[in-house]
Amino acid sequence: LRERGESSVPSTIADELATNPFLRGDEPGLRARVHAAMADEPMDTPAQVFAATRKLKDAKVYKSMTDAELPL
């Protein structure tokens, strides 16, 4: 996409809400995947899911995860 000068990011708020794990902390599926990767972190609130997702990103844990394990 970038080679053709096209955007490689979602183009609408709806797309962003559907694809950005940082905006979906209230989804049970995302919460379960993040909890599987960060079992010691609390996951009681969307803010805690956000924080754990951020820790995964900061630690680059996602680089060693399979697509099925990624919190997407």
Residue 56: count of CB within 10 angstroms of its CB: 20
pTM across the whole model: 0.72
Amino acid at 16: E
pLDDT in tens, 28-49: 999 998 999 889 999 999 999 9
- State residue 16's pLDDT score: 86
- State residue 2's pLDDT score: 66
pLDDT in tens, 1-16: 667 877 777 678 898 8
Q: Show the tokens assigned to 23.
A: 């905006």
